Amino acid sequence: MPKGIKGFQKGHSIWVNRKHSEKTKKKMGKSKKEMIFSKEHRRKLRLKRKGRKCTLGKRWKLSIEKIQNRQGKNNSMFGKHHSEETKEKQRKYRGPLSSNWQGGISFEPYTIDWTETLRRAIRERDNYVCQICNKLQGDIAHDVHHKDYNKKNCNPDNLITLCRRCHMKTNGKNREYWIKYFNNK
């Protein structure tokens, strides 16, 4: 920066290798929390971000960073233990008392027809493409899903290729919706 020019200069890195004091951080945090944006301002912010897409590589990098930032000493629960009261609350909502309990169907065994060869044939039939979002299979193999949620029905017409993300969507409370969706496809 040329001598004699004072004040803020774009590109001038005055804060490099410097840190805010705890007092300043608290003040900045408090002022940020008190900010209330109008509906119009929020609409403008939303429109500005609309259409921007994160590349697959960037998304992958962000998810890895998020996982790494929560591991070991960085995890908010590191070195802490749940109280007996909390453990008891968690026990109360396990199994049949869980809000997502499906009657224990996840414990049902698959038939002997459910083989890796069958799953590979279904993926090949569907050209290794997810049948909901059209994502092409990468390093991780796509899942093969039972359209009618019956693990014993391994008829190829009842099986469909789904990426992991879409498969997770189909395994919730809205099974009736997905059964209709796949029957109409």
The alpha carbon torsion through 61, 66, 69, 71 (nearest 10 deg) reads -110
Residue 32 has pLDDT above 90, yes or no: no
Rounded Cα–Cα distance for residues 63 and 60 (Å): 5
**Structure tokens given for 13:** 């890195």
Rounded Cα–Cα distance for residues 90 and 75 (Å): 20
Q: Would you say 130 and 163 are in contact if contact means Cβ atoms under 8 Å apart?
A: yes
Query: Can you give the pTM of this predicted structure?
Result: 0.50
Rounded Cα–Cα distance for residues 135 and 127 (Å): 11
What would the pLDDT profile of 136-156 be if each residue is shown by its tens digit? 998 889 999 999 988 899 999
* Residue 119, amino acid: R
pLDDT at 141: 92
What would the pLDDT profile of 56-106 be if each residue is shown by its tens digit? 777 778 888 888 888 888 888 888 999 999 999 999 888 888 877 777 777
Domain assignments of the chain as residue spans, ordered by start = 111-184
**Structure tokens given for 131:** 């049948």
Rounded Cα–Cα distance for residues 119 and 166 (Å): 17
